[in-house]
Structure 1
Amino acid sequence: MEKSDSYKVLIEEEVDALKYNSRFMDTKKYMQHGDTSIYEHSISVALLSCNIAETLNIKVNYKNMIRGALLHDYFLYDWHDKNNGVSLHGFTHPKAAWKNASRDFNLNKTEENIILRHMFPLVPLPPKYAESWIVCIADKISAASETVAPVKHSFKSSISFCNKLIMLAKNLVVS
């Protein structure tokens, strides 16, 4: 079994543990970036976090890191809906996610720190633990990939994609 497969097993086990007596599966209902649900995004962040820790040979508690990654966006609302009463989502959702996760689960300090600090540097308090830093970075990479993916797929080739970006940039400069 490859290492990434063992991480997938750990993630699946944690998802199984989280889905009982909680609202974790509700994250499938909410879109995060592009056409990616919060559920899919959180699993992607967890897997990428494991791969980063392994690749860089960083000693981490994988269970804490995976659990924190799975709950880092546990805010349980549609942040795209301007009528939901939430403003400045990027700044406020870590605390909303932490409140929901604290209600539904017993969190340890590392998991809390992952959830509350994953938006650094937008939220100015930096992560405290290696696991928190790794999830913070994995979240940025996953978010960028998920945001660009739907746009990229709408073009037939990377050359066409680049040409479209250049045209968009020219139009912005002209207008």
Structure 2
Amino acid sequence: MKQNWQNDREYMSYVEDLINTEEVQSLGEFTQHHYSTRLDHSISVSYLSYRLAKKWKGNARATARAGLLHDLFFYDWRTEDYDGGTHAYVHPRVAVKNAEKLTELSDLERDIIIKHMWLATIAPPRYKESYIVTFVDKYCAVNEVVVPVYRNTLNKVTSLFKVAS
């Protein structure tokens, strides 16, 4: 998914103070969905959610900011233990605590971050923007896992046909 988020002035005006922090940049050190970093994933979720919120007359600023911060946790969820429940339940709460160290969160932004794992957790989102980030997060996760595998498989099949011809 090619996105031109760096050149979108409105989007950057909403997230620039966050995206350049050491905490957010450090997400680039964590693999998220096998083929992407947590930073790349967070930016993808943030930017696509922002665009949808604008289109559907939602709060684009809150959506962009909370989308960027929705996975602001600093552990490898595949290998590290965490107390308090499943990763789907724990990491949004950790992300909110970490986000609150960077910026003041509105009730909307807090709901977006806490509820982005709905369907894997019980409590549904309260706001339209929370639903947007929830479903964009799932869309991006699938894209980050399936598309690289599909491309790799397609390349192998194409190579086999070239050898056979």
RMSD after superposition = 2.5
1:93-108 correspondence runs (5 A): 93-108=91-106
Q: Distance in 1 between matches of 2:50 and 2:112?
A: 14
| Residue matched to 1:167 | none
| Residue matched to 1:77 | 75
Is 1:32 aligned to 2:37, yes or no?
Answer: no
Measure how far apart 1:152 and its partner are: 1.3
| Residue matched to 1:134 | 132
SS of corresponding position for 2:154: coil
Q: Distance in 2 between matches of 1:5 and 1:44?
A: 9
119, 122, 125: which one aligns with 2:123 = 125
- What is the TM-score when the length of structure 1 is the normalising length? 0.76
In structure 2, runs of 5+ residues without a counterpart are 159-165
Greater shift in the superposed pair: 114-123 or 95-104: 95-104
Measure how far apart 1:147 and its partner are: 1.2
57, 60, 64: which one aligns with 1:59 = 57
Q: 1:7 touches 1:50 (CA, 8 Å); kept in 2?
A: no
Q: Distance in 2 between matches of 1:43 and 1:136?
A: 14
SS of corresponding position for 1:34: coil
Give aligned pairs, total.
153
Q: Identity of counterpart residues, as a percentage?
A: 33
In structure 1, runs of 5+ residues without a counterpart are 162-175
